[in-house]
Amino acid sequence: MSNDLFKNAIALTGGISTGKSTVCNLFKLHGFLTIDADLIAHKLLDENSNKIASMFGEQYVENGKVLRKELGKIIFSNEENKLKLEALLHPLIKEQIIKESKIFEEQNKPYFVDIPLFFEKMNYPISKSLVIYTPKEIQIQRLMKRDNIDENEAKLKISNQMDIEEKRKLADMVIDNSQNLKHLQAEVERIIGEII
Q: Report the candidate in 112, 30, 45, 114 with the shortest Cα–Cα distance to residue 75.
A: 45
Question: Are the C-beta atoms of 111 and 28 separated by less than 8 Å?
Answer: no
CA distances from 127 to 3, 5, 12, 19, 72 (A): 10, 11, 11, 22, 31
The answer to whether 21 is a known ligand-binding residue is yes
Q: What is the DSSP letter of 160?
A: T
The answer to whether 13 is a known ligand-binding residue is no
Q: 112 has which bridge partners?
A: 10, 34
Rounded to whole angstroms, the Cα distance separating 48 from 51 reads 5
Strands 61-62 and 65-66: antiparallel
Three-state secondary structure call for residue 135: coil
Sheet containing strand 9-14, strands side by side: 34-36, 111-114, 9-14, 128-133, 173-176
The answer to whether 17 is a known ligand-binding residue is yes
Query: Which segments are annotated as binding site for ATP?
Result: 17-22
Query: Which segments are annotated as binding site?
Result: 17-22
